[in-house]
Amino acid sequence: MTEKTAKKAAKKTAKKATKKAAKKTAKKAAKKTAKKAAKKTAKKTAKKAASTPRAKGPYDLVIVESPSKAKTIKKYLGKGYQVVASNGHIKDLPKSKLGVDVKSNFEIDLVPITGKKDKIERIQELAKGADKIYLAPDMDREGEAIAHHLAEEIGKPSKIHRVVFNAVTKTAVQDAIANPATLKKHMYDSQKTRRVLDRLVGYKISPILWDKVQRGISAGRVQSVALRIIVEREDEIKAFVPEKWYSIAGVMEKENTKFEFKYYGEEPKKKTELTEEDFVKKIVSDVKGKPYNVTDVKKRERKQNPTPPFTTSKLQQEAANKLGFTAKRTMMVAQKLYEGIQLRDHGMQGLITYMRTDSVRTAPEALEQVREFIKDKYGNDFLPTEPNVYKKKGSNKVQDAHEAIRPTNLLFTPDEVRGDLEPEQQKLYELIWNKFISSQMSQAIIDQTTVTFENQGHFFRANGSIIKFPGFRTVYLEAAAEKRSKKGGDDEENENDVKSGLLPEIIVDENIKALKDALETEHWTSPPPRYNEASLVKDLEEKGIGRPSTYASIISNIQDRGYVEKIENRFLPTELGAVVCKMLIESFPDVMNVDFTAQVEELLDKIEEGEVTWKKVLKEFWKGFEVTLEKAKEEMKNLKKQNIPTGINCKKCEDGEYTIKWGRNGQFLACSNYPDCNSTYDFKKSLDGTITILPKNWFHDPCPTCGKKLEVKTGKYGRFVRCEEYPQCETTLPYTLKITCPECKVGKFAEKKSRYGKFFYGCSNYPNCENALWSMPYEYDCPSCGYGIMTYRETKREGKQLQCPKCKHKVDWDITPFAKEEEEVSAE
């Protein structure tokens, strides 16, 4: 063997040994890591087991829905009780299959919810050693279902008791434990019926929509009807033809008091509508410069009654109107106030009664407390001789078992808890407080005056009202004044302003000359407004769609599914929403019928009352629904295969014609020569059916792959850019702004969507740069710290502004020049 060969062999042997040693080391390290991980898991499991509440001596077990409520209740009950939370439902229908056997008398298959197996086992373990078991989920149908599921899993019927409390207070909790009830089977049956109906509709209709429209979309028994009322409102708005009308008004002055007068009619007691311009001009000409004779002065005292404390829907409406809260946000904040807040001087306290209720009733002991409070704070004049009693309109009795929403303890005034509550909790608590206190106060007394004037045979009126005694309005005015003070603004009255609500002393047969002659104003009738959070909740309640506990989820669902979008706080159906809605109305008229949905709610109430059996209701529903399903599978039009010719010539090829096709983001125009020609355009259709091709929205940078233009498109996760030659060139990129990140100076801000559906702007150099902003950035050097960008913000109080992400410095700003610049870039 030569020296060279020996060297080579030695090298090879050494390499082999090194490799073997490395392998051995890696194996050893992997074994060590696995051992460490196993040890860590075991430690974690032991810790978890140790964290399970245990008692040294005998104990009773209380099971509630939420951990925060469990903490509050544990403090109230003290030793001898273990309190554990189920964290909502523990069992439900399986996600992977229907879970309802319609052929076997609607047998349902309930399985533990994913991730809840450990929770169930812990509850079972605690239940074994308990003397008594108190099931204390919420008092609504869903809470009753949770209680039944817990009872089924624990399996100790002799030990089990059901407890409910309207408020998480020491007295309410201890009273409930001292006076336990039994499980309500009919209430559980009602919940089961609702769940099965929702499952049958969702799991049977959705696959048809996948086949005919697009994969991934779905239908819901109640949500689809809510979608219908939004779509039909939009149809009304599109079909609305505005009509012209006029008003005539002027200004008078007497005793240094200016007041407005308006045209009423050609007779003193019959109003005349003004629609003809010539007639309006004649009236204005007739009365110009001539005195007005007072023909009648009517004074009357009007009494205004307070309104009842909040129900769930009214709370959602008021919170939307006054605080700008969504229904979902309102319920989340109210849930926290109900379950308990840590107060610095009073410990954990539930501040409001149960927040899912249709009732306007107040407990007698609470009435005594609030009357004492009103007397002490406002005086006897503000306290009616007898408590104000309210009755719920309509025939619904079921939810009236619960009280209206009110503060649990009047010692915890909004001022007392200020600082302990988050800002949104404070706002909602004050709203509930003010409404409850005012509901038991005296009537407001208002003096109303109506003066009728005659001039050349034409009659005019001036109205004035003065609050003689504010009564319950005292509380509301305080709240409104506080809201105005937050907005700021100049409170000084302009000397030329006409004071509303105030009239001087005027007598019959008096002649008064106008300070400003009566002039006409042209108006146009308006279409019905689009729904906002408050008006949608109100309509859902009035039409009997859903229940107080479901309004928030109904509104969230139709937005999450992409059927409805919220623009300027108003709900608009998307193209997908409008098309799916109309297809469902055609194929499933009963399911989409508002009255039918309301009747189902009434049937659920009857099941709860024990007037009808739940399986009978399901059988009746399925009988008609099964037939409709089979018909829909055959007859529902297939949008995926839709190819409607438009007669519009293709802009790219010579002999192609644009046809209307359906894609994942709605309808679009595509060339009939596809795939040889890939020309596509978005379009809009007018009421008369005319199609207008919309210009392409081009991106500011060219395609990095082929150099052609990039087109801005909108998808499930917001805007993105795609090569105009797609699918020949498959380049797809995130939508980025022409702003370089000031942190890394490499990436640009990309428009992204969070998992919760909120847009944000993150650096495209992520993960190397984690700079992200929740508001739209603009290239604008901060005058305070010099940072290279500022973000856009708009509030009612401060208007349009730019704010520095670093030092939070704000500057007033006009978006218009920037918006025009962006439009020009897109047009290029």
Q: How far is CA 447 from CA 237, 255, 302, 405, 450, in A?
A: 39, 19, 6, 32, 10
**Within 10 Å of residue 219's Cβ, how many Cβ atoms?**
25
Q: Which secondary structure element, helix H or strand E, spans residue 20, and what is its range?
A: helix 3-51
Task: Please tell me the least confidently modeled range out of 305-309, 484-488, 567-571.
Answer: 484-488
> Could you tell me which residues are beta bridge partners of residue 347?
343
User: Which pLDDT tens digit goes with each residue over 643-656?
Assistant: 788 888 898 888 89
- Model-wide pTM > 0.85: no
Q: Looking at the predicted structure, is the pLDDT value of residue 682 above 60?
A: yes
pLDDT of residue 261: 96
Q: Looking at the predicted structure, is the pLDDT value of residue 56 above 60?
A: no
Exposed / middle / buried, residue 292 (Cβ in 10 Å: 0-12, 13-18, 19+): buried
* Comparison of pLDDT for 429 and 670, the residue scoring more: 429
Choose, from 354, 378, 476, 735, the residue flagged as catalytic.
354
Task: Please tell me the least confidently modeled range out of 123-137, 246-260, 670-684.
Answer: 670-684
Torsion of CA 570, 575, 576, 579, to 10 degrees: 110
Query: Sign of torsion, CA 180 181 182 188?
Result: negative
Q: Which secondary structure element, helix H or strand E, spans residue 662, and what is its range?
A: strand 657-663
pLDDT band at 235 (very low <50, low <70, confident <90, very high): very high
User: Which pLDDT tens digit goes with each residue over 795-808?
Assistant: 767 788 899 998 88
pLDDT band at 752 (very low <50, low <70, confident <90, very high): confident
3-state secondary structure of 133: strand
Task: Return d(Cα 784, Cα 807) in angstroms, integer.
Answer: 8
User: Which pLDDT tens digit goes with each residue over 92-106?
Assistant: 999 889 999 999 999
Task: Please tell me the least confidently modeled range out of 93-102, 439-448, 486-495.
Answer: 486-495
* Residue 735 is a catalytic residue: no
- The pair of structure tokens assigned to 370 is 């609030």
pLDDT band at 13 (very low <50, low <70, confident <90, very high): low
Q: Looking at the predicted structure, is the pLDDT value of residue 491 above 80?
A: no
Task: Return d(Cα 407, Cα 413) in angstroms, integer.
Answer: 9
3-state secondary structure of 176: helix
Task: Return d(Cα 818, Cα 828) in angstroms, integer.
Answer: 16
pLDDT of residue 450: 95
pLDDT of residue 191: 94
pLDDT of residue 271: 95
Instruction: Answer for the pair 596, 620: CB distance below 8 angstroms, yes or no.
Output: no
| Mean pLDDT score of the chain | 85
DSSP symbols for 448-504: EEEEEEEETTEEEEEEEEEEEE-TTHHHHHHHHHHHHHHH----PPPTTPPPTT---
Q: Looking at the predicted structure, is the pLDDT value of residue 315 above 70?
A: yes
User: What integer is the mean pLDDT of 519-543?
Assistant: 93
Which value, in Å, is the radius of gyration of the alpha carbons in the chain? 34
Backbone φ and ψ of 259, nearest 5°: -150, 155
pLDDT band at 310 (very low <50, low <70, confident <90, very high): very high
What b/e string do you get for 44-63 counting C-beta neighbours within 10 Å, with b at 16 or more?
eeeeeeeeeeeeeeebbbbb
Q: Looking at the predicted structure, is the pLDDT value of residue 397 above 50?
A: no
Task: Return d(Cα 249, Cα 445) in angstroms, integer.
Answer: 28
3-state secondary structure of 132: strand
User: Which pLDDT tens digit goes with each residue over 763-795?
Assistant: 988 888 889 998 889 988 898 898 889 998 887
Q: Looking at the predicted structure, is the pLDDT value of residue 399 above 60?
A: no
**Within 10 Å of residue 542's Cβ, how many Cβ atoms?**
12
